[in-house]
Amino acid sequence: MQGLFKTADYPDLLAGLDGPDDAAVWRLDETRAIVVTTDFFTPVVDDACDYGSIAAANSLSDVYAMGGRPFLALNVAAMPDNLPVEITSEILRGGAKKALEAGVVIAGGHTINDKEPKYGLVVVGFVDPRQMLTKGGLRPGDALVLTKPLGFGVTTTALKRERAEGPDVTEVVDWMSRLNKSASELAVEFGLRGGTDITGFSLVGHGLEMAEASGVSLQLEYEKIPLMSCARKYAEMGAFAGGAFDNRSYYRSSVVFKKELDEPAEMLLFDPQTSGGLLLGVPQDKLSSFLKRAEEIGQPAWVIGTAKDGKGIELI
């Protein structure tokens, strides 16, 4: 679309053309903007209802990543002709349950035939443009806070290869099904400006997007990065999706490894996440209160590093 649409021609388009932000944002007035996004993907787990819930949580996440409040959604689905209607119904039911949890109404949608199931949502929300989170909102000195652990991609790939154990599947489904709602509301409550969600480009890929958009570097402490309890086990099995190797090939040159990591540990940094957590920049003078409030509301929050002057990512 380069050359067809120019940001300068649309002064009310606050996000969507130039930067790598998570959703399009259109200003309605000084205190209201509308947030629009869409996402869908093929099944990552075997249970149809769980798949629908995860896909919906993932779609809603981009609005939360902007500090917004979703209120309306449409189903986007592609289903094979020979898929039993009961399975399709369970997928849609899972999505509807998650939308209700978020306070969002699914007001219809569109379905087509395809060889492999695909499901997600078009999501519309509101955000106060004065309180919007963006990838360009980090400042040197900000603490980097992650709200979900890593390891979703390697675990679901192990599941596809029939190597995942039942308790591990339960753990990953629980995390991927969680909304980023409370994390987003917490970010808005504390007036944060820098944020994104960690999805297919991995912690490193999305972290680099934030670093480049903000004109800072990220210093990450590997030992403080949270991992699912089973992540290392499947990493040692080599149960990584092709996207993990693509991420490493594309982003590794921008990472300085001051801490020596073995291949499984390094690959987990490039592991594509489905419905991952938010990565937030928290000013140091707000960090203690932010973490205390997160604990009070039961919102996981791990401090994994600091934004600094410079470029790229440094692993220590």
pLDDT of residue 3: 67
pLDDT of residue 2: 59
In this predicted structure, the answer to whether residue 74 has a pLDDT above a threshold of 80 is: yes
**Quick check: 206 and 197 in contact, CB under 8 A?**
yes
Asked which of 12-21, 83-92, 178-187, 197-206 is least confident by mean pLDDT, the reply is: 12-21
pLDDT of residue 44: 97
Domains 7-130 and 133-315 agree in fold? no
pLDDT of residue 21: 80
pLDDT of residue 1: 58
Tens of pLDDT along 105-151? 999 999 999 999 999 999 999 999 999 999 999 999 999 999 999 99
Cβ atoms within 10 Å of 300's Cβ, excluding its own: 17
For the chain, the C-alpha Rg in angstroms (whole number) is 19
Strands 118-127 and 143-146: unpaired
- With a pLDDT cut of 70, the percent of the chain lying above it is 99
CATH number of 7-130: 3.30.1330.10
The type of residue at 72 is L
Buried b (16+ CB within 10 A) or exposed e, 267-278: bbbbbbbbbbbb
Topology of domain 133-315, CATH = Phosphoribosyl-aminoimidazole Synthetase; Chain A, domain 2 (3.90.650)
- Residues 6, 199, 92: CA angle, nearest 5 degrees: 95
Rounded to the nearest 5°, which phi and psi values hold at 20? -95, 30
Domain edges within the chain = 7-130, 133-315
pLDDT of residue 9: 84
Mean pLDDT value across residues 23-41:
96
